[in-house]
Amino acid sequence: DAGVIQSPRHEVTEMGQEVTLRCKPISGHNSLFWYRQTMMRGLELLIYFNNNVPIDDSGMPEDRFSAKMPNASFSTLKIQPSEPRDSAVYFCASSLMGDTEAFFGQGTRLTVV
Amino acid sequence: DQQVKQNSPSLSVQEGRISILNCDYTNSMFDYFLWYKKYPAEGPTFLISISSIKDKNEDGRFTVFLNKSAKHLSLHIVPSQPGDSAVYFCAAPTPGSARQLTFGSGTQLTVLP
């Protein structure tokens, strides 16, 4: 298995632009998580899905952030409009529902200038 | 409110010596703990875990100790190797069915040759 695949690996965008981050979870996994890593706040959970259904989005910082999971093999995290303070590394992770071990992708480093 | 805390942002040890990374938690309902290791430009990878019914779990050079009364766990690496240099995160899944992980802020371990 190729593991959790995220794209792009790096994204540089101008403030105000829309940014879309993509994630392909491990095949067979039915839980998917979006995390954000910053120096100030460490690794924080933004949202997670079970069986493609958003369960808890209380970690999403603002309405500018939205996430979708249209099917079991694909999820997106969108920021519209982006701001410089959104600059961070965004990780997607997946697991079997109820399992404690989550497998992480390599992350997308987002820079908003 | 940080439920999982790693109070040492960095640690340096000499190759061959023991590395001890510490983690404290506040939620007495946590029943499982994980350690993740993260190299630069990569996602966190699972290292070792421990259930709250145990006080020790060992896997090769890595041992995790759990002190429930003190709400404290530690990761021991013996002997430390330069390839162990990474950021180590302590994590705990939320009680109940959701099981999303709450992470500590991480400790940067540097093993000096």
pLDDT for the residue B1: 65
Q: How far is B46 from chain A (nearest CA, A)?
A: 7
Q: What is the pLDDT of residue A26?
A: 96
* Residues of chain B positioned with their CB less than 8 A from the CB of A43: 44, 89, 103, 106
CA distance linking residue B86 with residue B83, whole number of Å: 8
For A1-33, the pLDDT digits (tens) are 689 999 999 999 999 999 999 999 999 999 999
Residue type, B24: D
| pLDDT surpasses 60 at B97 | no
Does residue A98 surpass a pLDDT of 80? no
Residue B44 to residues A31, A52, A69, A89, B92: CA-CA distances in angstroms? 17, 23, 22, 12, 14
Cα–Cα dist B93/B83, whole Å = 28
Arithmetic mean of pLDDT, A105-111: 97
pLDDT tens by residue, B53-70: 999 999 999 999 999 999
B103–A43 C-beta distance less than 8 A: yes
For B83, the 3-state DSSP assignment is helix
pLDDT of residue B58: 97
Q: Which of A87-101, B13-27, B95-109 has the highest mean pLDDT?
A: B13-27
Give the nearest partner residue to B100 out of A45, A101, A105, using CB atoms.
A45
Residue pair A21/A11 in contact by the 8 Å Cβ criterion: yes
Asked if B49 has any chain A CB less than 8 Å from its own CB, the reply is: yes
State the number of CA atoms in the 13 A half-sphere of B100 facing the CB: 22
Residues of B in Cβ contact (< 8 Å) with A100: 32, 34, 49, 93, 99, 101
Q: Residue B82's pLDDT is what?
A: 96
Q: In the structure encoding, which two tokens stand for residue B33, read together?
A: 């703990």
What mean pLDDT comes out for the span B88-101? 82
Place of tokens 């690794």: A43
**φ, ψ of residue B95 in degrees (nearest 5):** -60, 150
Find the helix or strand (DSSP H, E) in which B67 lies.
strand B62-67
Give me the residue label for tokens 């993509």: A22
Strand ranges, E, within chain A: 5-7, 10-13, 19-24, 31-38, 42-50, 53-56, 65-71, 74-79, 88-95, 103-104, 108-112
Tokens of B11: 């640690």
CB atoms within 10 A of CB B36: 25
| Angle, vertex CA B113, rays to CA B87 and CA B61, nearest 5 | 60
**Which residues of A are less than 8 Å from B34 in CB distance?**
100-101
CA angle, B73 then A42 then A67, to 5°: 120
